[in-house]
Structure 1
Amino acid sequence: MLELIETARELAGGTPHRPRQADLRCAVSAAYYALFHCMMRTCADSFIGTAGAQRSHAAWQQVYRALDHGSCKNRCKEVDRFGFPQPILDFANVFIEMQEKRHRADYHPSPSLIRNEVMADIEDCERAIGRLESSKRKDKRAFAAFVLFPRRA
Structure 2
Amino acid sequence: MTLHHDLLDQALHLATRETKKPKQASLRRAVSAAYYALFHLLVADGAKRLSPAKPAGLSLLIQRAFNHGAMRDVCKSFADGHRAAVRNSQPGQPPPATRKLITLPLDPPLFGVIQALIDLQEARNEADYNLDKQWNRLDVLSRVQTARQAFVDWAAIRNSPTATVFVVALLLQKHWGR
Identity of aligned residues (%): 27
Range 112-121 or range 138-147, more displaced: 138-147
**1:115 is the counterpart of 2:140:** no
Aligned residues: 149
Q: TM-score, normalised by structure 2?
A: 0.77
Which digits, 9 at most, give the CA deviation of each residue in 1:96-139, with x for residues without a partner? 11111111110112211010110011011011022113324234
Q: Distance in 2 between matches of 1:58 and 1:10?
A: 31
The equivalent of 1:31 in structure 2 is 34
Gap regions ≥5 residues in structure 1: none
Match of 1:141 in 2: 164
Larger Rg: 2
**2:138 & 2:46 partners in 1: Cα distance?**
32
Q: Which residue of 1 aligns with 2:69?
A: 70
Describe the SS at the equivalent of 1:65.
Answer: helix
Partner residue in 1 for 2:177: 152
TM-score of the aligned structures, taking structure 1 as reference length = 0.89
CA RMSD between the two structures: 1.7
Displacement of 1:56: 2.2
Query: Which residue is 2:89 aligned to?
Result: none
Q: Give the ranges of 4+ consecutive aligned residues of structure 1 lying more than 3 Å apart after TM superposition.
A: none
One-letter identity of the residue aligned with 1:56: P
Aligned to 1:13, which of 6, 11, 16?
Answer: 16
Aligned counterparts of 1:139 and 1:8: Cα–Cα separation in 2 = 29
Distance 1:134-1:48 versus aligned 2 partners, 3 A rule: farther
